[in-house]
Amino acid sequence: MPLLDRMGWRTDDFSRDDVDGGIIVPLAALRSTLDARRAGVIGVEISNDVAVDRLAPYFAQLALIAIAFPAFGDGRGFSLARRLRQAGFAGRLRAVGPLIPDQGPYAFACGFDEIELPEASLARQSEAQWAAALGAISHAYQPGYARQTSIFERRRAARAHKQESRSHA
């Protein structure tokens, strides 16, 4: 499946097959995979209704958490990504499913690092549409995971700088 990050399309370095590289396993197989592959790069795919507390004990052992989106209209994965980041997960977060280009910037703002799309989704929304959508929002009213300042904070800093410049003049 096609994989998109903030920089554009890239090759996936994880697989859902048991190979030597990074592997993504279902949540039900996580414990046994961690026990069997202590030195391997492991990711887990979860549904969008899994409790953060269930994953927190594994944060240090996981390189990736992939959150499944069953439909583009089901936004629980966005909230879950934000909660995982707030709980301290520092690895890669992947949105998996039929997202649409307009959701891309919001996915990254919520804490996702990458989006894995089904081939059918990419057939409906081209790579050009995704690129345009990702470049459409340069500033936001809320700070996000990858964006620490909001428009309001930038305006406040600009006013303070302007006032400071006037007082030194």
Show me where the domains of the chain are located: 3-138, 139-169
DSSP-assigned states of every residue in 31-99: HHHHHH-TTS-EEEEE-TT--HHHHGGGGGG-SEEEEE-SSTT-THHHHHHHHHHHTT--SEEEEES--
Q: Which of 91, 78, 99, 89 is nearest to 144 (CA)?
A: 78
State the pLDDT at residue 162.
78
Cβ atoms 12, 19 nearer than 8 A = no
Of 39-53, 103-117, 138-152, the one with minimum mean pLDDT is 138-152
CA distance 166 to 169: 5
Residues whose CB falls within 8 Å of the CB of residue 84, separated by 6 or more in sequence, listed in order: 52, 55, 65, 93, 111
State the pLDDT at residue 141.
56
Q: What's the pLDDT band for 145 if we cut at 50, 70, 90?
A: low
DSSP 8-state code for residue 141:
S
Q: What's the pLDDT band for 77 if we cut at 50, 70, 90?
A: very high
State the pLDDT at residue 61.
94
Q: What's the pLDDT band for 72 if we cut at 50, 70, 90?
A: confident
pLDDT digits (tens, 9 = 90+) for 1-24: 789 998 888 999 999 987 677 999
State the pLDDT at residue 6.
86
Side-chain-side CA neighbours of 77 within 13 Å: the count stands at 29
CATH class entry, domain 3-138:
alpha beta
State the pLDDT at residue 148.
60
State the pLDDT at residue 151.
60
State the pLDDT at residue 138.
64
Q: Average pLDDT over the chain, rounded to whole? A: 86
Does residue 97 register a pLDDT over 70?
yes
| Mean local confidence (pLDDT), 154-158 | 73
